[in-house]
Amino acid sequence: MMRPSLIALALALGAPAYAQEAGDVPAKDAKPDAAKPDKDAAKASVEEDEQPQRRSIPLRGHSLAYTVTPGHLTIRNDKGEPTASMFYTAYTVPSAGRARPVTFLFNGGPGSSTMWLHMGSFGPIKVDASVPETIAGPPFRYGANPDTLLDVTDLVFIDAPTTGLSREIGKAEPKDFFGVDKDADAFTRTIQRYLSKYGRWNSPKFIIGESYGTTRAGALSKSLSDAGVQLNGIVLVSTVLNIGLFGGDDQTLVNFLPTYAADAWYHGKVRPKPELMSFVAEAKAFASGPYAAALQKGGALSEQEKQSVAQQMARLTGLSTDYVMRSNLRVPPNHFQRELLRDRRQIIGRIDSRFVGTEPDAAGDSPSYDPQASAISGAFVGAFNDYLYRDLGYKTALTFRPNNYAGIGNDWNFQHNAPEGQQFVANVASDLAQAMRENPRLKLLNVAGVYDLATPFFGAEYDLGHMALEPQIVANIRYAYYPAGHMMYIDPPSARQLKADIASFYATAE
């Protein structure tokens, strides 16, 4: 198994310091910059700040008025010493009578800011990334979000320590937050502080995490419960709970195969072209059946059996039988990205396989970049900075970090103190399962894009399906799928359905 520091969730692609991956996944070759102390470096303050603005947007023929509050919360250790200044942006709507729900949202990485969810998903303002193509250069388009969740719940977007405008303070160092458990502790304290500062302890509470943010959400489900914060519901967006299943073993390959099939379907490599989800269901049945059995046999697999499985795999994935055979039935996702459209001299995206790009040659085995990253990152970074500093007029001496992948490097500790004991590589499905046992009213919604080669939807099904829950608790889990990628919310039809699905979920969880 890969060492935890090198796994990086297998969500890795190339990017230098503060370069942008599309979504919230780190670069496998990102390296930390050499430490250069600077007496003039801007430092976060231990003093909390909030800079509210009153705004409104048109929403379904009406006006939705709200307060947007960017600011910092100070979290402290058990001794009362300040450890981090956590940047957040809260969107709240006045409520008469019953307390409105409050939802805490965060991206992943580990090492990503929450810019992506903030400007792309459920907030009242959204970047226009509506087609799977490179967004035109500045000025970037952003405006009222017709699919905001703000009519359903207040929203609090939180940047992880050392990302965005969140910084270590006092005696703390960045490395004090680089780990599954350290990170979960920081978010637990941040949520507690927000609830206290704004008097929201009696509000219905939800968390929404994306990518590694789902790993964080799994850990938080138990740590928040242990801290007395009872959640009503959790939404997992593009889920990875068991980091160990990104180590390249047989189950990893089984988990990815249905996504390969969906990608082949989208790019016209499947003929005749059936209905998408029925085709995905066929691929899932093959992956968990004949394909899994063949991989499990290893060297005992006969040549005839191997040929039969290769032919079935080729039909479903758009690859040639010869390529599958030469790959020994084992095609990792980075190879699939390069091979699927090799005849067109194109590669497909990893975060969203609808995006395509080119390479200097058609002979390589892995892509050198993710086409989605170059297509949308500039727009998200530019639009967010314009929105925060010009539109909202937020004042700070700090520079916004879209990510801190290079600063983290290989220093993230993937070990985890799970309910059953220490794990060498985190599997927070055990935390989530225990939280749901202890609170059998806790509801869970798992949402996934079928064109996501970073966190395959079949892997989420596997993780959630192996939590050993009683049937009455399993009934609290819902699944929803969309014809889009990791960030399904940038696709307008998917975003509309996603909003409807989450609104329905909240109605059952309050």
Q: What is the pTM of this model?
A: 0.92
Inter-residue contact 402 to 26 (CB < 8 Å): no
Place of tokens 């530019």: 382
**What's at 293, amino acid-wise?**
A
Half-sphere exposure of 55 (CA within 13 A, CB side): 23
Task: Please give the pLDDT value at position 23.
Answer: 58
Task: Please give the pLDDT value at position 45.
Answer: 82
Place of tokens 């219905």: 204
Task: Please give the pLDDT value at position 245.
Answer: 78
Q: What digits encode the pLDDT tens for the residues 92-124?
A: 998 877 889 999 999 999 999 999 999 999 999
- Which is nearest to 333 in space by CA: 242, 410, 246, 271? 246
Task: Please give the pLDDT value at position 41.
Answer: 58
Task: Please give the pLDDT value at position 2.
Answer: 37
Distance separating alpha carbons of residues 235 and 207, to the nearest angstrom: 6
Task: Please give the pLDDT value at position 130.
Answer: 85
Tokens of 121: 């998903």
Task: Please give the pLDDT value at position 201.
Answer: 96
Distance separating alpha carbons of residues 96 and 293, to the nearest angstrom: 58
Task: Please give the pLDDT value at position 98.
Answer: 80
Give 287's DSSP letter.
Answer: I
Inter-residue contact 167 to 398 (CB < 8 Å): yes
Below-70 pLDDT ranges, the chain: 1-42
Task: Please give the pLDDT value at position 13.
Answer: 31
Q: What digits encode the pLDDT tens for the residues 49-104?
A: 999 999 999 999 999 999 999 999 999 999 999 999 999 999 999 887 788 999 99
Distance separating alpha carbons of residues 100 and 92, to the nearest angstrom: 9
